[in-house]
Chain A
Amino acid sequence: MSLAQELHYIGPALALFVGAGVVLFADVLSGRRAPRWGLTLAALAVALAWTFVLAMDGDARGEALSGAVRVDAFSIYFAFLLVGVTLAVVLCAKRWADSIEQGAEFYGLLLISAASMVLLAQGNDLITIFVALETTSIAQFIMAGLARTDRSAEAGLKYLLTGSVAAAVLLYGFAFLFGMAGSTSLPVVAEYVASAPESGRLPLLLAFVFIIGGFGYKMALAPFHAWVPDVYQGAPSIVGSFLSVASKAAGFAVALRVFYTGLGGGDSFMAEDWAIFVAVIAGLSMIFGNTGALLQTNAKRLLGYSSVAQAGNVAVGFAAVAAGSTIGPSGVLFFLGTYAVTNLGAFIAVHVVAERLGTEEIADYAGLSRRSPALAAVLSLCLISLTGIPPTAGFIAKVYIFNAAVQTGHDWLVVLVAVAVVNTAISAFYYLRWVRTMWMDDPVEETRFQPAGAVQVVLLLSGFGVLLFGVWPGPLINAARSAAETLSIL
């Protein structure tokens, strides 16, 4: 394969990496007066266009860079999702980034983090996966501590220390996988697992547990979730919105890749072993996330716990393994697509309120419907979607993923779905209480306010997306299905 072709395969990530370098260098060379926002948007636009070209170019499929990365419908689905989320975050970040000293560093780190996530979804080799995961994590650690307030510094350090422990645990699992398969390449690992002797079962199980622990941290699953509320609350709210959507999506992407491509998914003789383990932590995530969220008065902290509970919902699809079927992963992909639209809308709304009213307390959202009707409407819509009430995207996503789990026919998955349904009822309590505060309670003051133009566009698109995928989910479901099908390679 020629060099140009290889570069074409990793184009979107390359555009973002180069963009990060351009933003940082231009800022230094111009004495901190470069058009950072414009340059960042340009890099994202190039990456988005390149992803589109890759999606259209049916020949550009398969391995590149000596098997380190793989381009398929799955990686392209996540490239669209991750670049789109980053674009929305950058559109909303201008005001905040202009107000801090390290604005250019923020954009640079954001682009580096996004680029590594795109690469992570393409990873086809344990080394690539580890390096991409750590590059995106380290950039996120710095972003979380960027505001230089007490809380931000605390969030950054906590995120870094816990994240490094999780990375080490993941690596230990990778080391055992490498030791047994004799290669770091996922296709070779897949071949080994498919023909593994019975004596390999115990070490493989050990490797699974370590790997699920490491990825569970990234996906914000209990019991590896303790960092989530602290970091979401302490980090700048715009960084929180990026973490809650993009980081979680990338975590699920790489976990699906390793478990469904590298470890054979539902066709492997060990599938049920790890699937039950995932099912247990999915149930724990929903229970811990929802009970934790019930007590919260801080909007960002509540969204942190809610994010843990939602990760539990997504993991239901992850655990839904069945021989010769990828319906579970397709549910994960569809859920993540709708979740990105929904949670981004909610978090951006919280960001706007924090910026304009200087408060993150839910009590201060009283009467928001009179002060900024459009903002309150979008936030309410997103919260309703997070609860899973029709006609929103969240409802379809939950129905799809629970249905996928029941269809695989395992008894323990039916139990898990029952737990999930009970938890949905619990979650309605805190989501809808927030909505009620916005519409029913009287505001302390009546001054009206409006978010900036670009932020309005993102909020409206998010609200529109929540409704659109709620009434017309077909195209997204089809995209998720064809992307999930490319996961099994044997």
Chain B
Amino acid sequence: MNLPGGDEVTVTLAHYLVVSGLVFGIGTTIALSKRNAIAVLMGIELMLNAVNLTLLAFSRFSSAFPAGEEPLSGHAFVVFVLTVAAAEAAIALAMAVLLYRRRETVDLDRVNLMRW
């Protein structure tokens, strides 16, 4: 790949890890700080996708593997993570609807019948 100035850069494992680490951090921050249940769910999705990116990057680049061999277990792992994330989101939305019907809010600060 060439930068505008003409310098050539190689995208390495480290680039992918930094990006996925940032996405994971952003996702964690959203999941822990947002008060709306749906927004928290979006944060969780970001975290899971950061994991997927990490897995795929390692699968493609890692030096622990014999040269030229791309282990498929990383790819398989990603498929499972995607499936589980979909199941989780489905249940979470159902729960949010249930809660909204009863309490007319999905604001986690106001869902506080139980404290301390």
Question: How far apart are B86's CB and chain A's nearest CB, in angstroms?
Answer: 11
Cβ–Cβ < 8 Å partners of B80 in chain A = 127, 130-131
Contact with B along A151-194 (1 / 0, CB 8 A): 10111111011001101110110111011111111000000100
Complex Cα spacing A57 to B81, Å: 35
**Is B113's CB under 8 angstroms from A180's CB?**
no
User: In the complex where A157-B99, A161-B41 touch, is A179 in contact with B113 (Cβ < 8 A)?
Assistant: no
**Is B37's CB under 8 angstroms from A161's CB?**
yes
Q: Which of A131, A164, A192 has the most CB of B within 10 A?
A: A164
Q: Is A150 an interface residue (CB 8 A)?
A: yes
Q: Is A301 an interface residue (CB 8 A)?
A: yes
Within 8 A of A (CB), among B1-54: 24, 27-28, 31-32, 37, 40-41, 43-44, 47-48, 50-51, 54
Within 8 A of B (CB), among A128-151: 130-131, 134, 138, 141-142, 145, 148, 150-151
Cβ–Cβ < 8 Å partners of B43 in chain A = 165
Say which residue of B31, B48, B73, B92 sits within 8 Å of A127 (CB atoms): B73
Complex Cα spacing A161 to B62, Å: 32
Cβ–Cβ < 8 Å partners of A138 in chain B = 84, 87-88, 91
- Nearest chain-A residue to B99 (Cβ)? A153
**Is A161's CB under 8 angstroms from B113's CB?**
no
User: In the complex where A154-B99, A160-B91, A175-B51 touch, is A295 in contact with B116 (Cβ < 8 A)?
Assistant: yes
**Is A160's CB under 8 angstroms from B55's CB?**
no
Complex Cα spacing A483 to B85, Å: 34
Cβ–Cβ < 8 Å partners of B73 in chain A = 127, 178, 183-185
**Is A156's CB under 8 angstroms from B51's CB?**
no
**Is B62's CB under 8 angstroms from A182's CB?**
yes
Contact with A along B45-85 (1 / 0, CB 8 A): 00110110011011000101100000101101100110010
User: In the complex where A153-B102, A171-B48, A172-B50 touch, is A182 in contact with B88 (Cβ < 8 A)?
Assistant: no
Q: Which of B57, B62, B95, B116 has the most CB of A within 10 A?
A: B95
Cβ–Cβ < 8 Å partners of B81 in chain A = 130, 171
How many residue-residue contacts, CB under 8 A, span A and B? 133
Complex Cα spacing A247 to B73, Å: 28
Q: Is A234 an interface residue (CB 8 A)?
A: yes
**Is A156's CB under 8 angstroms from B95's CB?**
yes
Say which residue of A134, A157, A183 sits within 8 Å of B71 (CB atoms): A183
Question: How far apart are B87's CB and chain A's nearest CB, in angstroms?
Answer: 6
**Is A178's CB under 8 angstroms from B92's CB?**
no
Q: Is A230 an interface residue (CB 8 A)?
A: yes
Cβ–Cβ < 8 Å partners of B50 in chain A = 172
**Is B114's CB under 8 angstroms from A230's CB?**
yes
Q: Is A470 an interface residue (CB 8 A)?
A: no
Question: How far apart are A116's CB and chain B's nearest CB, in angstroms?
Answer: 12
User: In the complex where A142-B91, A157-B96, A164-B92 touch, is A175 in contact with B58 (Cβ < 8 A)?
Assistant: yes
Question: How far apart are B95's CB and chain A's nearest CB, in angstroms?
Answer: 5
Q: Is A73 an interface residue (CB 8 A)?
A: no
- Nearest chain-A residue to B56 (Cβ)? A175
**Is B47's CB under 8 angstroms from A178's CB?**
no
**Is B95's CB under 8 angstroms from A150's CB?**
no
User: In the complex where A148-B98, A153-B98, A157-B99 touch, is A164 in contact with B44 (Cβ < 8 A)?
Assistant: yes
Say which residue of B51, B65, B71, B92 sits within 8 Å of A160 (CB atoms): B92
Say which residue of B55, B102, B111 sits within 8 Å of A158 (CB atoms): B111
The 10 closest A-B pairs by CB, nearest first: A179-B58, A182-B64, A168-B47, A175-B54, A171-B51, A182-B65, A134-B84, A157-B95, A164-B44, A184-B73
Q: Return 26 A-B CB contacts under 8 Å, by A number.
A: A126-B77, A127-B76, A130-B84, A131-B84, A134-B87, A138-B91, A145-B95, A148-B102, A151-B113, A154-B113, A160-B95, A165-B32, A165-B44, A165-B47, A168-B47, A169-B47, A171-B81, A175-B51, A178-B77, A179-B54, A179-B55, A179-B64, A181-B64, A182-B62, A185-B73, A192-B64
B residues near A (Cβ < 8 Å) are 24, 27-28, 31-32, 37, 40-41, 43-44, 47-48, 50-51, 54-55, 57-58, 62, 64-65, 71, 73-74, 76-77, 80-81, 84, 87-88, 91-92, 95-96, 98-99, 102-103, 108, 111-114, 116
A residues near B (Cβ < 8 Å) are 126-127, 130-131, 134, 138, 141-142, 145, 148, 150-151, 153-158, 160-161, 164-165, 167-169, 171-172, 174-176, 178-185, 192, 229-230, 233-234, 292, 295, 301
Beyond contacts A126-B77, A151-B113, A184-B74: 4 other A-B pairs, Cβ-Cβ < 8 A, are A148-B102, A154-B99, A154-B114, A176-B54
